[in-house]
Structure 1
Amino acid sequence: MERQQRGFTLIELMIVVAIIGILAAIAIPQYQNYVARSEVSSALATLKSLQTPAELAVQEGETDVALSDLGLSDSAVQNGSISVSNFNDSDDATDPQIEFTFTSEADGGGQFAGQYIRLTRQSETDGSGGGWQCTTNIDNEDVVPDSCDITTS
C-alpha cells in the first residue's frame, strides 16, 4: 500500500521556525548597525562636501559666512541641521567650524538625536598646517568613521 505525503510534519515546521529565529537574531542587530553607520556616513559626507567652499571662504578672508554661501540650503539636509560658525578673521582664538547636529527621532534624526559631527579648521599657527579635523560626540566606535575623533564634550 502506497503512502501519500500530505504535508510537513510538526517537527519539520519547528526546525524551520527555529532556523528563521536564529537568522533573525543575528541579522536584525547587524542591520541596525548598518543603518546607524549609514546615517553617520551620510552626515559626514554632507560636511565634507562643504569643506572645499569653506576653505575657500577662509582663504578669501570672508567673515560673514552662511550655509547658503557654501552652496547648500537648509532644505537639502536630511536627519539633522548644519551650522557654520567662527568665520571671523579678527578672532584668532576660534577656528572656523561646520557642524552637523542630528535632529530628534520624531523629526527623522534617527538614534543620534542631539549629537553632532563637527569639522574644525585648524589654525596654521598651531603646527597642524591648517587642515580640517573631524570630531564627534557619538560614543559608538562601530559607527564613527576612523577619520573622526570621539570627544566627550
Structure 2
Amino acid sequence: MISVLFVCLGNICRSPMAEAVMRSKISQRGLSDKISVDSAGTGDWHIGKTPHEGTRKLLDDFRISYEGMRARQVESRDFSHFDYIVAMDDSNASNLRKVPGGEEAEIVKLMDLLPNEKLREVPDPYFTGNFEEVYRLIDTGCDVLLDRIVKEKL
C-alpha cells in the first residue's frame, strides 16, 4: 500500500482539504486498495478538531467527503510510515525537518508539483479566507501527484 501524508500548520484547512480531494480522486480511479491518504499539522493547537468551516463548505460544494477527519499533529513515526510527505509551504517543510526523523525524510512541497504556477506556496486560507484558490491549487496538485504515484509505484 502506497501512503501519502499532506501537512499544513494546524491540520484544519489545507492538509485536510488535500486529504479529502486526494481520497476522492483515488476512489474515482479505483485505487483505494492501493493508496492511502492522511493529513497532519506541524502545530498542536487544533488537535481533535474537524476541518475548518471554509474547508467543509467547499468540500460540500464539490460533494467530497471529509467524514471522520480530525486534526492531528505530525509524529516521528510518520516519516517511516508514509511514502510521500507533502508540505503546503516552506515553513511547514522546515518544521517537518525539525521533528525527530524528519531531517532525513523526503518532503515535497505541493507547489513544486505545479511549476507553471506563479505561487510557490499554498496560501493559508485560515488567514487569507480564499478557500477557492486553495482548492484550485490542491485539486491540480493532487492530479499531478496521483499521476506520479501511478507512474512511479503502481
State the TM-score, normalized to the length of structure 1. 0.24
When the two structures are superposed, what TM-score results if normalisation uses the length of structure 2? 0.24
Q: Which has the higher contact order (CA 8 A, sep 6+)?
A: 2
Query: Larger C-alpha radius of gyration, 1 or 2?
Result: 1
